[in-house]
Chain A
Amino acid sequence: MTRPILEAKGLHVAFNGVKAADDVSIAIHDGEFLAIIGPNGSGKTTLLNICTGYIRPRSGRVLLDGHDITRLSPRAIARRGVARAFQIPQLFSTQRVIDNMMLALAATDGLWSAVRPLESPARRDEAKALLDLVGLAGDADRISSTLPEGHRKLLDIAVALALKPRLLLLDEPTSGVSALERFPLMEALMSALRQRGITALFVEHDMDVVARYASRVLVWNAGNIMAQGRPDEVFSNAQVRQRVVGVA
C-alpha cells in the first residue's frame, strides 16, 4: 500500500471523564473513500475535530503526508489541502450563496486583493459549476440563511470542494438531505472526487449509502474502532450488525 495521506496514531481524548477517543489509530490512503460509522456520541465528529486542529488530543499524533500536524491550527491545516464539511453547516449566513462559494474560491487564489471585486465572471462561473454539481444552481443569489437545512448542507459541501482539497472530510453529508436527493448527491460527489483526485473520509449514518459508495468502512464505538474492512465484510460482522447497524 502507498503511504497514507492522513494518519492518526494513538489518539486519546476525554471530555469530563468520557472517552471520545481511546487509543485510536487510523490511516487514509490515496484515492480511498473511507466511511466511518458508529452510534451518536461515539466520537466521530471529535475525530474530525482532532484531524483538523480544532481540538488537541490529550496524547497521540496526527500526520499529514508524514508531517506532524497535531498542533497546527485549522487554518494551517486547511492551507495544506484538507477541507471539511460540517455536521452542522458552517456558512456565512447573511451573505448570498454565491458569495459563500466565491469567498472560498478566493481563499485559495486571491484573497489579498482589496481593490478587485470578489465577484469576477471567471470566479462566478467556477462557483456556479460547483453549485450545479450539488444541485444548488438555482439558489445562487439567495441569502444563504433562507435555504432549507438540507440545502445548507449541500452548500457547506460545495464550499469545501471549492477549496480544491486533496483530502476532504465530510461529517454526515447526507443527514438533513432528503431521501430523494441523497443518491443523486452521492453520485455527483463521487464523480467530482474521482475527477479531481480527491481522497475522502466521511462520517455517515445511512448504511445504504455506505454500502454502495465506501471503499472501506471503519466502525466506531465508544471511542474505539470496533471493526474495519470492506463494506460487505463489515456488514456481515455479527457484532457490528447488532451494535451499530441495528439489525439482529
Chain B
Amino acid sequence: MRTIFATLAVLILAVLPVAAPWLQFVLTLAIAKGFAALGVAVLLRAGLISIGHAMFFAASAYGVAFLARAGIHDFGLLLILSVLAGALVGAVAGSFLVRYRAIFFAMLNLAVSMVFYALCAKLYSVTGGTDGMPVPVPAVFGIVFAEPVFKNVLFYLSLGLMVLVGVSVQRYLNSPLGHALSAVHTNEIRLEYLGIPVWAVLLIAYVISAALAGLGGAIAGFAIGRVVPDFAFWTASGHLVLIAVLGGIGGVPGAFIGALFLELLHSAAVTVTDSWNLIVGITLIVVIMFMPQGVYGLFARREVSSL
C-alpha cells in the first residue's frame, strides 16, 4: 500500500515539470533540500538537533566548484567526490561533536558552521568571497548537454537518486545500527550496558547525515549554477531543521514531503505577498501544535497504541 502511494507520488513529480516547466527548478531544489533535511532528520532520531548542517550542504557544493575548476567535468564523478568531501568534513566535525548532547550539540554545530561560513566569505582568493564560485554544466555519461537540457536531466537524476537514497536510508534506519541510533535518545545507559559504543553509533549517523546534506548541496549547486557562502549561513541550517520537523521525524519520505511543501509554499507565497516569513512561521506553529508527526504523519499509518 505504502509502496503504491510512494510510486504514485514519484510519478506525479516526474510529470509535473512537463505540465509546468517553471516547476522543474523549484522541484530540483526541493529534492536537494529534502536530502539535507533527511540528514538532519537522521540525527533527530537520536534526539540531536543540528543547527549547522548547511555547512555540509555548502561543503559539497564548493567541492563541486573546486573539482570543476581543477578540470573534472564528469557529473557522476563530481557528485561522488563532492559527497565524499562532505562526508569527510562530517567525519572530522562529528568526531568531536558527537560527544555533546542537547543544547550543546545544537550550539556547537551552529558555531562550527558559522566558522565555515566566515571562511568561505573571507577567503576571497580561494572561494571568491561573497561572489561565490561558478558551477559549470558538467558532462553526463560523456554527453555535454545545453544548459536547459542539463537542468532537465538533473531533475530526473535527482528524482531517481531520491528513491535510491531514500530506500537505502530506510534500510539503515531499520538495521541494528539504526535502532541503536534511536536508542541513544531513550537510554544511553542501557546501550552502554549492552556493550554498544554510543560514540561509534553516533559518528556513523553523523557521517551519513553529512553525506546526505552534501548530496543535497551538490545537486543545489548544479541546479543554481553557482555556490555562495550563504549556502552555509545559519538561516539555511535553521531552514533544514524546519523542513525536518515539518516533514515529521517519523519516516524518510517526510523530509522530502516537507521540502516540497515548503518550496511550493514559497513559490506560491512570493507571487502574492512579501510576508514569506510570516507564512512559514504560522505554518510551523500549526504543524507543531496540531500535527506532531509532521506533514508526513497525515499519510503514515497511525501506530496502534496499547495503553
Measuring CB to CB, which residues of chain A are less than 8 angstroms from any residue of chain B?
52, 73-76, 78-79, 83-84, 90-95, 99, 102-104, 106-108, 110-119, 142-143, 146, 159, 163
Contact B187 A92 (CB under 8 A): yes
Residue of B with least CB distance to A52: B193
Contact B197 A75 (CB under 8 A): yes
Give the 10 A-B residue pairs with the shortest CB-CB distance, closest first.
A78-B195, A106-B176, A90-B190, A107-B194, A79-B195, A92-B186, A74-B192, A117-B174, A92-B183, A75-B192
The B interface, classified by DSSP as helix, strand, loop or mixed, is helix
- Distance (Å) between the CB of B195 and the closest chain A CB? 4
B179-220 contacts to A (CB < 8 Å): 179-180, 182-183, 185-187, 189-190, 192-197, 204
- Distance (Å) between the CB of B42 and the closest chain A CB? 12
Contact B187 A90 (CB under 8 A): yes
Contact B196 A75 (CB under 8 A): yes
Residue of A with least CB distance to B199: A75
A119 to B179, CA, bound (A): 10
Given contacts A73-B192, A95-B186, contact A115 B179 (CB under 8 A): no
Residue of B with least CB distance to A85: B193
Which residues does chain B contribute within 8 Å of A111, judged by CB atoms? 176-177, 180, 196
Which residues does chain B contribute within 8 Å of A159, judged by CB atoms? 190, 194
Which residues does chain A contribute within 8 Å of B186, judged by CB atoms? 91-95
B178 at the interface (CB under 8 A from A): yes
A239 to B175, CA, bound (A): 55
A134 to B1, CA, bound (A): 36
Contact B174 A146 (CB under 8 A): no
Given contacts A92-B183, A94-B182, A111-B196, contact A118 B190 (CB under 8 A): no
The A interface, classified by DSSP as helix, strand, loop or mixed, is loop
A94 to B190, CA, bound (A): 13
Which residues does chain A contribute within 8 Å of B303, judged by CB atoms? 143
- Distance (Å) between the CB of A92 and the closest chain B CB? 5
Interface code B264-307, partner A: CB below 8 Å = 1, 0 otherwise?
Answer: 00000000000000000000000000000000000000010111
A247 to B17, CA, bound (A): 84
- Distance (Å) between the CB of B170 and the closest chain A CB? 10
B99 at the interface (CB under 8 A from A): no
Residue of B with least CB distance to A78: B195
Contact A143 B175 (CB under 8 A): no
Which residues does chain B contribute within 8 Å of A113, judged by CB atoms? 175-177
Given contacts A75-B197, A118-B175, contact A91 B190 (CB under 8 A): yes
A99 to B180, CA, bound (A): 10
- Distance (Å) between the CB of B115 and the closest chain A CB? 30
Contact B179 A84 (CB under 8 A): no
- Distance (Å) between the CB of B189 and the closest chain A CB? 5
Known: A95-B186, A102-B179. 17 other contacts (CB 8 A): A52-B193, A74-B192, A75-B193, A78-B194, A91-B186, A92-B186, A93-B186, A94-B186, A106-B176, A106-B179, A110-B176, A111-B180, A115-B175, A116-B176, A117-B174, A118-B175, A163-B195
